[in-house]
Each structure stands twice: as structure tokens, then as C-alpha cells.
Amino acid sequence: MSSMPEMAAFEETSSAFCDTCPAAHLLVGGDGRIRGVNQTLTAILGYSRDELVGRHVLEFVEPQDTGCVLEELNRGPAAAYEPALEVAVRAKDGTSRTLLLARGLPSRQPGSAGLSVLLTGLDVTDAKAAAKLTRQRELQVLQGRHVESIARLAEGVARHFDTLLATVSACAEKLRAHMPNDADIARAVEHALAATTQAARITARLRDFARDHPFARAPVDVREFIDSAVEALGPRLGPNVEVATDVRADLPALPADADALREALVELGLNAQDAMPEGGRLTLAADPAATGEAMNLIHSHDLPPGRYLRLTVADTGQGMTDETLARAFEPFFTTKDPDQAAGLGLSKVYGCVASHRGAVGIDSRPGRGTKVTILLPLTVGGPHSVPNETQ
């Protein structure tokens, strides 16, 4: 049998271990008030022991989780084992932390009314955030591959359709030349030629998405380029749309096709207007960025280390659902009436950015507006950079 000094030493060692172990310990009395905490929990919450002991445990639990904590505390000693609970708690600095809590067997503590419960928990806040970031990155990669496969399909479709349209157009021209006096045939021929012209415009937009044509690159003054996009948007925006720009003054010239990028920004601005039928604010911004900031963007190739320009187009409109976001860059996908839009606007933006070997992404939530972020390389030279000439 252990002697009293040995038992005291053991209890002291156990107490020290409990106080500093990675798991948080919280002893809650039958009245719901905190009777004891270890050092790990005080570090997680940012409160001292004196600030925690004696207060009701639910003071530190986020409202959405108070019910499950009460249920856990009120379960009887003979209750079946339950898996650990994820509980959101509020720290002293106002941040929310997530604890994975497990309940020990209730016991009667000296001076406590009813049975006390020992809760043991791990702080999984950072792990959950890392898992969420990893999942977001995986979804971005999958979306990028999805859009890339559609781009390759669009390229093949555009080429085949161009060949067919050339044949139809040539036959129509021959009919017009050989039957100039037949009014009915003449009208049919004109309709056919008009249809081939319209179809050719659509295949051209598909090639924009598929990056199936060269862009002429030259040094572009970023502020002038954005000002020109705002000027082009001006007459096409409603009177209730306020436009603002935020461009860093020290930005270097961007090697790019200014006309193609201007068109991309105009497309984004018009999309933003559609999302703000009652009016709102449209902001175009530009600042430097690092390669790592493309983590949540879509890109169809590796982005090498180097200097990048970040363009953002943000609105205060209706925002998008997750389902819409997942398909936003697909050609012919649109949430508008098919008679009002062909669904090629954002796919053209994607094609333009990919042609410049950049990255693009959308951050949006219903009712919280939309922000489109574009990352473009500023460095000229090297296997992955944008050449300063027509390719």
C-alpha cells in the first residue's frame, strides 16, 4: 500500500500533468458553474482561472451550441457513451474557437451541489481552418481542370464549325450569284449569310475562351488602362451605379494586350451592373501580388515565382450561389434569359486571363456582392512569362 507522502506526490504530479497537457479540462458543477479549469483552457480562451471559476459555463459557449452542451451536462451517470461534440466557444478577445469536447463520468465534488462533470477537449480551430482551406484548394483545382477540359472541347467545336460555316457561306454566295432575280431565293440566301455571320461571332467567342488565337503584348500603363475601361463602361452603366477606382501609384507597366484586357474588365463591369438592378457600387482596383495569393484562383498552368499584378472588380450586388459559382466560367452558361445573353461573357474573361498566363477567381455569396480577382504576371522573359511581342 502506498504511503501518504507517496500518494500526495502522485496527486501533485497528476495535477501538474493535467494542468499542462495539450487537452483542455473543465470541471462543471451540478449548477452549471465552472469549478475548475486547467492552464490549457485558460490559454485557449484568454481568461485567467479567477475569471472563469464561478461563472456559468454557458457564458462562454456560442448561442448555437448551448443546447447540446446543456444536454451533455444533464445526461445521467449511466448514460451511454456519446462521441465527442464540436462546440464553438467565445474567447476573451471576441474570436470564436472550436473545441472537440468529451464528457467524463459525473462525480460528487466536495462543496458542490449535485454531480460535477469533467469535460475534456481539444482545440481544433486551426485544424478545421486548414482542412477547409485544403478543401477549397481541391475544389479550385477540380474547377480549373473542368474549365480546361471545356476549353479544349470549345476549341475543337469552334474549328469544326468554322469549316462548316465557310462551306455554307460559300454555297450561299454561289446561289446569290447565280439566281439574282429570284426574290424568294435571294431573301433565303441573305438570311443564311446573316446566320453564318452570327454563328461566326459565336465561334470567335469560343476561341476567346479556348485561347485559340494570338494576343499582341506591349507594355501597358495600368492606371491608363483601367481609366479607359471605366470610360468605356460609363455610357453602358445605369445612373444608380457608382464607379470607383483604387490603383496603386507605383505599379510597373504590364506586358499585355490592352484591348483584350479592357474588354474583359468591361464584361465584368456589365455583369456587375446586372447584379445591381437597384444600383450599387462598382470598384476596379489594382495592386501588386505574390504567387502564393493565387491559391484560391483558377489557373490552367503552374504560376512561377515572380512579380504579379492583381486586378479586382467588386460589386455590391446580389451575389452568386455555390452552384452558379461552380459553372460561372463555362461557355453558354448564364442565369439570364437565353434571349438576353449568350453566356459567353465570363468564359471570354477566363480565356483572356489564361492567354496571359494568369489566374482568375470569384468570391461571392448571395446578398453579399461579388469580387472577381485576376492575377497577371509582370515579369517579361522566362518560359512561363508573357512575351513582349505577338506570339
Lowest pLDDT segment from 90-99, 199-208, 312-321: 199-208
* Most confident range, picked from 17-26, 315-324, 328-337: 315-324
**Per-residue pLDDT, 386:** 39
Cell digits for 278?
437597384
Helix and strand counts by DSSP (H, E) for the chain: 10, 12
The residue that leads in pLDDT, 132 or 25, is 25
Residue 83 has pLDDT above 70, yes or no: no
Q: How many residues does the chain have?
A: 391
Interval 120-168: pLDDT, tens = 888 888 887 777 666 656 565 555 565 666 666 666 677 777 777 788 8
Q: Is the pTM of this model over 0.75?
A: no
The model's confidence at residue 371, banded by pLDDT at 50, 70 and 90, is very high
CB 257 within 8 A of CB 278: no
Q: Which residues have C-beta within 8 Å of that of residue 323, sequence separation ≥ 6?
A: none
The model's confidence at residue 296, banded by pLDDT at 50, 70 and 90, is low
Pairing of strands 280-289, 241-247: parallel
* One-letter amino acid for residue 173 of the chain: E
Smallest Cα–Cα separation from 349: which of 376, 384, 309, 317?
A: 376
Q: Whole-angstrom Cα distance, residue 63 to residue 209?
A: 47
Q: Whole-angstrom Cα distance, residue 198 to residue 205?
A: 11
Exposure on the CB side of residue 29, measured as CA atoms within 13 A: 16
**What DSSP designation does 366 have?**
T
